[in-house]
Chains A and B, each alone.
Chain A
Amino acid sequence: MNYNLLAPEIILTLLALVVIILGLLMRDVSKNMLGYVSAAGLLASIIYVLGNGMNTVGSFFYNSLTVDPLSQVFKLIFLIVSLIVVIASIEYFRDNRNQDEYYALLLLATVGMMVVASANDLVALFVGFELASMSTYVLAGFEKKNPSSLEAALKYFIIGSLSSALMLFGMSLVYGITGSTNIPAIIEFFKSNPMIATSSLDVVAMIFLVAGFGFKMALVPFHMWAPDTYEGSPSVVSSLLAAGSKKMGFVAAFRVLVLALVAIRIDIQMTFAILAIITMTYGNVVAISQRSIKRMLAYSSIAQAGYISLAFVVMTQMSIAGGVLLALGHALMKGGAFIAVALVGYMVLSDNRNAKNIDDLGNFAGLGKRAPITAFSLFVFFLALAGIPPSAGFVGKFVLFYSITIEAINQASSWLLIVVIIAILNSALSIYYYARVIKYMYVLPPNGEKIKEPAPYVVAILLAVIGTIGIGLYPEPFIQMAMNAAKVLGV
C-alpha cells in the first residue's frame, strides 16, 4: 500500500485534530490564525493530490478504499471548494471565539467527502457519508444565536437522518441479496446472477439508495430541505453545502448506481429522465419568484442537480464525463456565488447592524458601483450558471447535452431528443432570474457608499472566477480528465 495516495486525507484529519487542540490552548484573539493554518493544510492536500497525478490507481484497507481517476477528480473538487470556503471564512468568522471548532468540523467534513469519493465498499461509503453529514449538520447551525440558522440545521438534520436511514436500509437489502458489501463483488454477483439482479427486491434496494444519495444531490422530491437550509445557514456554509457536499451525492451515485445499473442492465433511462426533468424544471420555475438570493441560488442549485443527473439517463462515457465536468464547474460557480452573497451580507451589516433579510434582492441594487469586484464576479458566475460561453458551465452542459444528442441519434430515440430540448429550454429560462439580479447590480442606483471589499473574500471569489473562466477558455485538459474519470466506471 502506497500511503502517499491517502496522504491528503491523513493530512486533513491530523490538521483537524491539531486545530481543535490549538483552539483549546489559544486565547480567543489569536484564533484568527487558524483559518490560515487550515487553508495551508488544504493547499498542501491539493498539491498532494496533483502530485500523485490524476490517473493513479491504488487500493487500501482490504479493498475498501480505492484511488482512481474518478476519486482524484472529486477529491480535487472537494478540496478546492473547502479551500475557497476557508479563505472566505477567515473574514466571515473573524473574531468568533468558536473558530477552532468551525475549522475542525469543516476539515472533517472535507475528509468525509473524500472518503466517499474513494469508497469501494458500502460500509466505507456510509461512514464517509455520515462523517461529512454530521459535521455539516453542526456547521449549518453554527450561528447559535441566529434562530434561522438553528432551524436550518435542525431541518437538515432530521431530513438527513431519514435519508441516511433509507440509504442504510437499501444497503442492507443489497447485502442481503449479494452477501457482500464490497462494490466490485456486488457488481460481479449481479453480472453472474441476472435473474436476482432484476428482481423487485433489488429494484427496491436501488431506489432506497437513490433516495439516500438524492438527498445530498437535492433531487426532487428529496430536495425540500435545501432551500431552507441554504438560506438559514451562514453563507460560507451554504457555499460548502451547495458546492461540496452536494457533489458527494453525485460521486456516490456514480460509484454505486452507475456500476450497479450497468451490471443489472435494466432499462431505467426513463425513470432518471423524468427525475432529472422534474428536478431542473422545478428548480428553475421556483427560482423565478424568489427575492432572497440565497434561496434563488438554492433552487438554481436544484436545477443544476437536474442537469447533472442527466448523466444517469444515457450512461455513456461521455455523458458521465459531462456530469463530472458540470459538477466541477458547478462547484466553482455556486461556491463563488454564495461567497459573493456573504460579502453582500457583510456590506449590508456594516451599513446597519440590525438589518434583516440581508440577502434580499434589493440589497444588490447598484452593487456594480458599491463593490465592483464582487458584482463583476457574480455577473460571471450567473452567466456561467446559465451556460453562456466561455465558462465552465457552458463546457459541462455542452458535453452533457451533446452526449445525450449523440445517444438519441444512435438509438434513433425521439424522446431522448425531447429531453435535451427541455434541458436547453430550462437553461434559457434560468437566464431570466440571473439577468434580473444583474439588472439590479448594474442598472439600478446604489443605496449606499462604495465599500472596501475585504481581501479574504476577494481572494476566494477571484479563485472561483479564474477557475470558471479558465475551464471555459481551455477546456481540453479538463474534458480529458473527466473522460478518464468516467472510464473508471467501465461504461
Chain B
Amino acid sequence: MFSDYAALIVLLPVIAFVLTLFLGKKLYSGGALLPIAAIAGSFIISFGTFLEIYPKDGIVQQSWPWFAGMNIGILIDPLAVVMLMMVSFVSLLIHIYAVGYMSHDHAKPRYFAETSLFTAAMLSVVLSDNILQFFISWELVGLCSFLLIGFWYHKPSAAAAAKKAFLVTRVGDVLFLTGIVLLYVNMSEIIAGRGFTVPEGNFILQFKTMFEAIPLINPTQLTYITLLFFGGAIGKSGQFPLHGWLPDAMEGPTTVSALIHAATMVTAGVYLVARTFPMFAATPSTLSAGVPDSLLIVAYVGGFTALFAATMGLVMNDIKRVLAYSTVSQLGYMMLALGTAGAVVGAQAVGISMFHLISHAFFKALLFLCAGSVIHAVGTNDIREMGGLFGKMKITGTTMFIAALALAGIGIPFINIGTAGFFSKDMIIEKAFEYGELKGDFIPYAFAIIAALLTSIYIFRLWFMAFTGKPRSERHSHESPGVMTRPLMILALFALFFGFAHLGFYDYLNKNFELMTGEKAAPEGESLQMSPIIVLLPVIVGVLGFLISYAIYHKKMLDMSKLVSSENPLYKLLLNRYYEPKIGADIIGVKLTHDVVAQSGEFVDRKIIDGLVIDNIIGNTLFKLGEFVRKLQTGVVQNYASVILLGLGLLIILLRIKFGGT
C-alpha cells in the first residue's frame, strides 16, 4: 500500500519547498516544520515500501509517458530502497538539527526551502527509472548544492566556492550528458539495425531497456558510454582530478556540508555507477584492443583518490576541511569497491559498495554534525584554537569519538563485533586483496591499506586536538541544545550498530539486478581462504593510526614542530593541497580559461562579431529596416486596404506564373 504512493516520496519535499519559500517568513522557525514533516513523510513511505517489498523480493515500477518516447517513472528495487531510506532519514535528522544550528540566521526560509528542494531532487535521482530523469534530477541536485554552498553569498569566499563547485561539477555533468547522448544514438542504431525492440510499456532510456540492450551494443562504444558516465560520477563524487571543489564547498553552513557534501549528494556519483553497474561489468576486459576495462579505471581512480585525499586530510587545520578530505577519500573507497569487487564477485560489488556508502553516510553525517556542534560552541573552524572541549561537551565528544572509531574501521575480527565502518571498509579492503590475488595486481590493495592507516591518523588527530589537552584559546564554550544533540545520539547508535546488518544487506542487494531484468546473476564464486594477517591488517592499521595520533597529539611524545613547518617541502605540498587550487584556479581558471580563451573569445565577440557583424551589418540593417517598415505603417486606413489588394494581386500573379494560364 505504501508503494502506491511512491511518487509522494519526491512530491512531499517539493510541496514543502514551495510553501516554505513563499510562506516561510510567517511560520515557526522560518518554516522549518514543513520540510521536516514532508521529509518525515518521505521516510515513512520509503520505509513502508521497504517493509512491503522486502519479504517478497518485489520491486516497484511505475511509469508514465512523457514525450517523444521518453518517460517519467519510479523504480524502487533493493538498491533504490536502501538509498531512499538513508537519504530521507539522514536528511530528516539534519533538518531537525538545523532548527538549532540555524536559529540565529535571518534567511531561514530560504535555507529550509533550498534544503527541502535538494532532498526532493536527491530522492528523485534515487528512484528514477530512466537515465534522462536521473540526469535532470542530478542537475537539480547540483543547482541546490550551488545555492547552498553560496548560502552566505555576502562572504566572498563562499561565493567563490559556490562558483568553483558549480564549474568543476559541470565538467563531469557535460561528460555524463555526452554519455547519455552516445547511449541514445547507440540504442537508436540497434533498434534500427539489429532488430532490437523496446517492449510495449517500456521506454528507450529506461534502465531496464538499457540493460537488455547491452549485448547488442558495440563493446567499444559501451566502454565509451560507461567511461563518460564515470566522468559524471567523478565530478559529483569529488574523485581525482575533479575533487577540488568538495573541500571548498565547506564554506556553506555545516548542516549543508553534512547533508550534501558528506551524506547524500556526493554519493550520487557512486550511485550512478552502481545503478548502471551491468553496463560497466559488460565492458570488454582486455587491454589488447587498446581499450581498457571500465571497471579497472573505476578501481584505479577510486583507489588513488582514497589515498591522495587521505594525505591531505593529515595536515588540514580547518575541522571541516579534514572531514571534507575524509569524504573524498571514503568515496574513493566506494568506487574502489565497485571496481575491484566487480572483477571478483560481479554484481555483488554493488552490495559491498552500497553498504559502505550507507554506513559512511551515518558516521560522516555524525562527524559533520559534531563538528557543527563544536563550531557552534567555540565559534571557529580552526582545530589549533580548540582543545580541552571534552569536559564541556560530553555528548558531542563521545558521539564524535564513536564516529571516529567507525571511520577508522575499528572492531574485533573473527568474532565480528565492531563499528559500522569496520564491516563495510574491511570488506572493501579484503575484496581489493582478492582482486590482487586474481589479477596479480596489488596496486589497488596498496592504495586501500595505506589510506586506511592515514584515515585513522587524521581522524584521531582531529579528535585529540579538539577535545583533549588544554584549551588553546579563551572562549566560553557550552554544550549544544537538545535539538542538536539528539540527532547526534541517534546517528551514533547507527554508527555503532549498523554494521551488524551487513550479511542481510549483502544478500538483499545481490538480488537487485535479477529482480529488474528477471535474469539470474552468475553464481557466486568460492570465496578465497585468506590468511589471518590479511583479515587482521585493516584493523591493525586502524589501531596503529589511533596509537600514533595518541602519541603525537595527546601525549606530545614527539615534537612535531620540525615536521610541521614551512621548511618541510612535503608538509608544504600537502598543506597547499598539492597546489591543486593553484593549478585549478590560477593556471586553468585564470590563465588558461580567462586570459586565453575568454579574452580571445571576447575579442572576437566584441570587436569582430559585435563590432562589425552585429553593429554594422545585422544590427544596423535590422534597425534601419525596422524603422523603414515602421514608416510604412502610416496609420491611414486607405493605405492598409491598398496593401491588401496589392498583396492579393501579387499572390495571384505569382501563382499564374507558376502554373501558366488556363
Binding site for B on A (CB under 8 A): 154-155, 158-159, 162-163, 166, 198-200, 203-204, 207-208, 210-211, 215, 220-222, 224-225, 227-228, 266-268, 270-271, 274-275, 282, 285-290, 395, 429, 474-476, 479
Contacts and interface: CB of A to CB of B under 8 A. Distances in A.
B662 A211 contact: no
A271 B629 contact: no
A379 B647 CA distance: 36
Contacts of A282: 629
Given A159-B641, A207-B648, A271-B655, 6 more contacts: A162-B644, A204-B652, A220-B647, A227-B633, A268-B655, A476-B67
5 contacts: A211-B647, A222-B644, A266-B659, A476-B66, A476-B67
Given A200-B662, A203-B655, A285-B626, A159 B640 contact: yes
A285 B625 contact: yes
Interface in B639-662: 639-641, 643-644, 646-648, 651-652, 654-656, 658-659, 661-662
Could you say which interface size class chain B belongs to?
A: 20 to 34
B82 to A, nearest CB: 30
B65 to A, nearest CB: 5
B613 interface: no
A204 B653 CA distance: 10
A210 B629 contact: no
B643 A224 contact: yes
A199 B656 CA distance: 10
Contacts of A227: 633
B654 A271 contact: yes
B551 interface: no
Interface of B: 65-67, 622-623, 625-627, 629-630, 633, 635, 637, 639-641, 643-644, 646-648, 651-652, 654-656, 658-659, 661-662
Given A158-B637, A211-B648, A221-B647, A200 B656 contact: yes
B662 A199 contact: yes
A126 B640 CA distance: 23
B644 A207 contact: no
Contacts of B67: 395, 474-476, 479
Contacts of A286: 626, 629-630, 633
A118 to B, nearest CB: 28
Q: Which are the 8 A-B pairs with shortest beta-carbon distances?
A: A221-B647, A289-B626, A224-B640, A475-B67, A155-B637, A285-B626, A288-B626, A221-B643
A387 B231 CA distance: 32
A87 to B, nearest CB: 22
A159 B644 contact: yes
Contacts of A270: 658
Nearest to A285: B626
A224 B633 contact: yes
A222 B627 contact: no
A59 B286 CA distance: 70
A357 to B, nearest CB: 16
Given A288-B622, A288-B623, A225 B640 contact: yes
Nearest to A203: B655
A200 B661 contact: yes
Contact of A285 (B629, B637, B639, B640): B629
A210 B641 CA distance: 15
Given A285-B629, A289-B623, A155 B644 contact: no
Nearest to B656: A200
Given A163-B644, A282-B629, A210 B651 contact: yes
A221 B661 contact: no
Given A286-B630, A288-B622, A198 B641 contact: no
A190 to B, nearest CB: 15
Nearest to A202: B662
Nearest to A208: B648
Contacts of A266: 659
A281 B173 CA distance: 37
Contact of B646 (A154, A210, A221, A275): A221
A474 B647 CA distance: 41
Nearest to B621: A285
B66 to A, nearest CB: 6
A211 B644 contact: yes
Given A204-B652, A271-B651, A282-B629, A221 B662 contact: no
Nearest to B71: A476
A155 B640 contact: yes
Contacts of A222: 644, 647
Contacts of B659: 198, 200, 203, 266
Given A158-B637, A200-B661, A222-B647, A289 B627 contact: yes
